[in-house]
């Protein structure tokens, strides 16, 4: 049986290149990953400009101790340019964002001056105060966004501040998704006795979309060999990744790994972890295959641990794993050595320290534990029972970007 780390490394090593790039308008680029570095075509801001509403002056006119009076020679709004230079003894009323006129290098905020008619009285001030320098945000030619980063609203704004309106990003990895099991019913349709409604296809759909993938929904396949074979063949022809849930355990009707072995190859099908031990990974035609466990907590956890980093890599991202923190557990955590265990936790800042508790019953079918929780508690392989008060690793549930 492979370890969690071993499984992750193996999977990432199988994925060669990210998916190809496409050009999209910036309005469609949120959450996408640039395929090339984005460089600044010019300085931002393009000119020295005022950081406040006030009066632009030349530093030679700043009194060293006392105050002095200057003649106000005009009014400059943002978006306009003052055609002439400011001479000695002169000040220009200037609005935030307006370019500094020639001859001026310092701006008095209007709140600290006395204005009377076309005269303004100013006091001592540091030379260069309240001026935003040309290029202080971004210098021309510099890389503003590296390839492989994820575009958040702030990256998009920085890109548009350069006048760029479209860019080259990796296309979304395509994931063919299906549920298996005779007992699984489609939400919104009647359910036969003995059936349960599909949870996994929807936790997984959301997870795929959250990490930038495109879902190709292939529905629910019964535990019938021929049906599974034809649906998996179909899936392999249309996607970068094929994702199933259920049918990878050791039950009589757990057909997924047998069918995969027949149609493609299986690299491993069990991971030393809890929940989520059954997990088939391999290849199906030209695509990467993940057979996730059926239990809803296990399938979502397996997605987070194995599929998400793989989709990130395919999408061209540089960072593949979420950061982990440490917190003190307020309760005792039973733990078996030799496998990595994941509990659903509630992480909170309390009395000056981070502490974590479990969400309650931790069965791998209890999806409400994922709803109640805001993190995973990660207990390493070599660890045994954890006493209350010990430090544990926690991985906050990732946000959409």
Secondary structure E strands in 105-213:
106-109, 114-116, 119-122, 131-132, 143-145, 166-170, 174-180, 184-185, 196-197
Packed helices 225-236 and 256-263: angle between N→C axes, nearest 10 degrees:
50
Quick check: 201 binds ligand AMP (CB under 6 A)?
A: yes
Quick check: 249 binds ligand AMP (CB under 6 A)?
A: yes
Helices then strands (H, E): number in the chain? 8, 26
List 80, 196, 324, 387, residue binding ligand AMP (CB under 6 A): 196
Q: Tell me the per-residue interface mask from 331 to 360 with ligand AMP, x by CB under 6 A, - otherwise.
A: ------------------------------
Stretch that binds Mg ion, among 20-28, 85-93, 176-184, 382-390 (CB under 5 A): 176-184
**Closer residue to ligand AMP in complex, CB, 7/293:** 293
List the end-to-end C-alpha distance of the chain, in Å, as a whole number. 32
List 251, 361, 363, 384, residue binding ligand AMP (CB under 6 A): 251
Q: Pick from 342, 335, 394, 397: which is nearest to 371 by CA? A: 397
* Contact partner, 295, from ligand AMP, Mg ion, none, Cβ < 5-8 Å per class: ligand AMP
Quick check: 198 binds ligand AMP (CB under 6 A)?
A: yes
Quick check: 291 binds ligand AMP (CB under 6 A)?
A: no
**Closer residue to ligand AMP in complex, CB, 42/253:** 253
Cα(10)–Cα(15) distance, integer angstroms: 9
At residue 160, φ and ψ (nearest 5 deg) are: -70, -25
Q: Pick from 219, 217, 211: which is nearest to 172 by CA? A: 211
* Contact partner, 364, from ligand AMP, Mg ion, none, Cβ < 5-8 Å per class: none
Q: How far is the CB of 279 from ligand AMP (least distance, A)?
A: 11
Question: Is 213 exposed, middle or buried, given 0-12, 13-18 or 19+ CB atoms closer than 10 A?
Answer: buried
Quick check: 235 binds ligand AMP (CB under 6 A)?
A: no
CA distances from 65 to 59, 61, 62 (A): 14, 12, 9
Quick check: 105 binds ligand AMP (CB under 6 A)?
A: no
Quick check: 296 binds Mg ion (CB under 5 A)?
A: no
CB 105 within 8 A of CB 131: yes
Secondary structure E strands in 294-361:
325-329, 340-350, 353-358
**Closer residue to ligand AMP in complex, CB, 212/296:** 296
Quick check: 245 binds ligand AMP (CB under 6 A)?
A: yes
**What torsion, rounded to 10 degrees, do the Cα atoms 95, 99, 101, 105 define?**
90
Quick check: 294 binds ligand AMP (CB under 6 A)?
A: yes
Residue nearest to ligand AMP (CB): 294
Quick check: 366 binds ligand AMP (CB under 6 A)?
A: no
Strand partners, 343: 377
Q: How far is the CB of 185 from ligand AMP (least distance, A)?
A: 9
Quick check: 246 binds Mg ion (CB under 5 A)?
A: yes
Residue carrying the six token digits 């006129």: 101
Quick check: 199 binds ligand AMP (CB under 6 A)?
A: yes
Q: Tell me the per-residue interface mask from 191 to 230 with Mg ion, x by CB under 5 A, - otherwise.
A: ----------------------------------------
CA distances from 60 to 57, 65, 119, 177 (A): 8, 13, 17, 71
Quick check: 386 binds ligand AMP (CB under 6 A)?
A: no
**Closer residue to ligand AMP in complex, CB, 144/204:** 204
Residue carrying the six token digits 């496409």: 22
Q: How far is the CB of 297 from Mg ion (least distance, A)?
A: 15
Site for ligand AMP, rule CB under 6 A: 179, 181, 183-184, 196, 198-201, 245-247, 249, 251, 254, 293-296
**Interacting residues toward Mg ion by CB under 5 A:** 181, 246-247, 294
């Amino acid at each position: 049986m492979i370890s969690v780390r071993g499984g992750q490394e193996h999977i990432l090593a199988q994925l060669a290149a990210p998916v190809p790039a496409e050009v999209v308008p910036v309005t469609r680029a949120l959450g996408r990953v640039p395929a090339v570095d984005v460089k600044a075509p010019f300085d931002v801001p393009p000119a020295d400009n005022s950081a406040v509403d006030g009066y632009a002056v030349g530093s030679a006119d700043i009194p060293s101790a006392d105050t002095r009076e200057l003649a106000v020679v005009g009014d400059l709004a943002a978006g306009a340019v003052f055609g002439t230079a400011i001479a000695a003894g002169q000040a220009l009323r200037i609005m935030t964002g307006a370019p500094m006129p020639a001859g001026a290098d310092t701006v008095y905020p209007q709140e600290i001056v006395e204005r009377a008619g076309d005269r303004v009285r100013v006091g001592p001030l540091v030379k260069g105060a309240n001026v935003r320098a040309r290029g202080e945000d971004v210098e021309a030619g510099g890389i503003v966004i590296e390839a492989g980063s994820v575009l958040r609203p702030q990256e998009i704004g920085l890109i548009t501040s350069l006048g760029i309106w479209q860019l080259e990003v990796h296309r979304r990895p395509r994931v063919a998704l299906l549920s298996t099991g005779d007992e699984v019913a489609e939400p919104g349709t009647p359910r036969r006795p003995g059936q349960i409604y599909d949870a996994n296809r929807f936790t997984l759909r959301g997870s795929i979309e959250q990490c930038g993938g495109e879902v190709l929904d292939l529905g629910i396949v019964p535990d019938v060999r021929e049906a599974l074979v034809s649906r998996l063949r179909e899936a392999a022809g249309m996607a970068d990744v094929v994702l199933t849930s259920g049918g990878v355990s050791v039950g009589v009707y757990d057909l997924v790994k047998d069918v995969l072995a027949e149609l493609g190859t299986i690299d491993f099908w069990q991971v030393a972890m809890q929940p989520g031990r059954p997990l088939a990974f391999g290849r199906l035609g030209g695509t990467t295959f993940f057979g996730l466990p059926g239990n809803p907590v296990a399938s979502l956890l397996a997605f987070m641990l194995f599929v998400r980093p793989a989709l990130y890599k395919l999408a061209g991202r540089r960072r593949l794993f979420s950061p982990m923190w440490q917190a003190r557990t307020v309760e005792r955590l039973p733990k078996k050595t030799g496998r990595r265990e994941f509990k659903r936790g509630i992480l909170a800042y309390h009395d000056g320290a981070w502490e974590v508790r479990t969400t309650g019953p931790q069965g791998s079918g209890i999806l409400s534990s994922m709803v109640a929780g805001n993190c995973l508690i990660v207990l390493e392989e070599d660890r045994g029972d954890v006493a209350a008060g010990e430090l544990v690793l926690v991985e906050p549930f990732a946000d959409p970007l």
